[in-house]
Structure 1
C-alpha cells in the first residue's frame, strides 16, 4: 500500500548529495518507487551499482548548474528536485575565516539557489515539487555553528520565499529539517564529541539517533501527489528535538 500511495512511476527527479547519507537514501527510495533519477555529487563513482543517471559536479563551480540542467533536460519534464548536497565543519564566528565561510555558504546556500534557478524552467507545471534540506540548526541558535546555521536558516527562508513565488505556477517548495541523523558527516561527532552527543541525543525526546531512510520517507512524501496542498513548510525530522528545545533529559 505504501508504494502505491507514494508511487513515482513515470516521474523524473534530480537529487544532489547523491553519494551517501540522506541523498543516497532518497535516491534508493525514489528508484524503488519507480522514479527515473538523475544523481549528482562531486564523485559519483560510488553509485556504480545504482540504476540512476549520474553527473559528477562540484556545485560550487559556476558551470555546474548548466551541466546538470542539460542532463536533466534529456529526461523530459522534471517532477522533483531534491537539494540534498551540503557540508559541515562550522565553528564559532571568531574562528570562521573567509575560506570556511565561503565553502559552507557556497555549497549549502548559494549552490542551491543557482541550481534551482537553472532547473525551474524544466519543472512540470502544475505538479512540480522542490524539497530542500534545511536543519534544526537553521531554526534555533546553537553555539559553534555560525556559518552552517546561517546557511540552513537561509535555506528555510529561501523555501518560504520560493513557495510564494512559484506556487502560482503549480510548483510546491518545502524543506526537511533533520535533527541528529546518523550520516558520514555526523558519525565522527556522535562517536567522539560527548558534548554534541549529550546535546543532540539526550536532548531528543525519542532518545535515539535518526536514520537517513526516515528523512528520505518525508522527502518522498513532500515530493509526492499526496502532499499536493503542502507548500512553504519546514518539516522537522528530529525526534522532537526542536519541540523540547533541545534540553537535556535525565
Structure 2
C-alpha cells in the first residue's frame, strides 16, 4: 500500500459521553483530556493549576473541554467537581491522573511529604471514585487510575510515591470487585518514565536521561500521548471485559534488569 499524507480523523468513540479527568492542566492529564475530546467526549478537567492551554488545545475538536479549578485533596472541591461533571447529564468515565512525587530519604523524612503523597495520590482517587460511583453505576461506566511502574518495582528515597502508587493498584482492584456487578469497570495504567513537567527534575541532564533510556527495553522515553492511548482503550467498549487490571506503559522497563 502506498503511503499517504492524508490524516484520518479519530473515530468519535466517546461521542455523547462525559469524562472527568483530574490533573488535566499538563502532562498525562492534558494528553488524556485531549484524546477524549478528539473522540467526541465532553471532558471536565479538574486541576488546581491553570488549564487554559488544555482548553486551547481542545478548542475545535469534536468534543468539548470544561475547566474546573479543584484541589483534589479538598473533599468539598472533589464533591463540586463530580457534581459539575454530572451536570452534563451523565458521567461515563473517571480518569484519576493528578499526582505528586517527592524525593525524601528516610533518615531526613519529617512525615509531611508522606502525608501529602497519601492525600494526593491515594485518598483523592478514592474520594473521586466514591463520589462518582452512583453516576457510573447508571451509565455502566469506567474508572481508570494512573499508577506508576514504581508502585511495582520500588525506588529508593520515594517511600510516599511508591507506597501510594501501589495503593492505587489495590484501590483499583477493590473498585473492580465492588462495582463490577453494576457493569462498572476499574483499571489502572502504570507508566514508566514519561516526559512530563513532573518528571523533568529526575532527568535534568543528558546522563540522567540516558540512564532512563537504557532501563527501558525500547531504549527511549515515553510521551504522555502514549499513556493516554492506553487510558482511552481501557475506558472504551474495546475493553468491555477487562477490569481489575494494571497495564504497564513503560517501554519494557519492568522486563530489564
Superposition TM-score, scaled by structure 1 size: 0.91
Structure 1 residues 91, 2: closer, same or farther in 2, change over 3 A?
Answer: farther
The residue aligned with 1:43 is 49
Distance 1:142 1:87 in 2: 15
Q: Is the 8 A contact 2:151 2:162 kept in 1?
A: yes
Structure 1 residues 44, 122: closer, same or farther in 2, change over 3 A?
Answer: farther
Shift of 1:124: 4.5
1:180-228 CA distances to partner (integer Å, 9 max, x unpaired)?
A: 1000011221123845752x32110100000000000000000001100
Q: Is the 8 A contact 1:176 1:219 kept in 2?
A: yes
Residue from 15, 21, 24 that aligns with 1:15: 21
Structure 1 residues 149, 196: closer, same or farther in 2, change over 3 A?
Answer: farther
1:237 maps onto 2:249 in alignment: yes
| Superposition map of 1:26-41 within 5 A | 26-41=32-47
Distance 2:209 2:221 in 1: 12
Shift of 1:126: 5.4
1:178 maps onto 2:185 in alignment: no
The residue aligned with 1:64 is 77
Shift of 1:237: 0.2
1:58-98 CA distances to partner (integer Å, 9 max, x unpaired)?
A: 11123112111221121112110000000112322223222
The residue aligned with 2:61 is none
The residue aligned with 1:159 is 172
Shift of 1:172: 0.2
The residue aligned with 2:3 is none
> Which 4+ residue blocks in structure 1 deviate beyond 6 angstroms?
none
Q: Is the 8 A contact 1:138 1:153 kept in 2?
A: yes
| Superposition map of 1:199-210 within 5 A | 200-210=212-222
Distance 2:193 2:210 in 1: 9
Distance 1:112 1:144 in 2: 23
Shift of 1:169: 0.8
| Superposition map of 1:1-250 within 5 A | 3-4=10-11, 7-46=13-52, 47-49=54-56, 50=58, 51-125=64-138, 127-192=140-205, 194=207, 197-198=210-211, 200-244=212-256, 247=257
Superposition TM-score, scaled by structure 2 size: 0.89
Structure 1 residues 217, 2: closer, same or farther in 2, change over 3 A?
Answer: farther
Q: Is the 8 A contact 1:18 1:44 kept in 2?
A: no
Listed as ranges, the gaps of 5+ residues in structure 2 are 1-7, 59-63
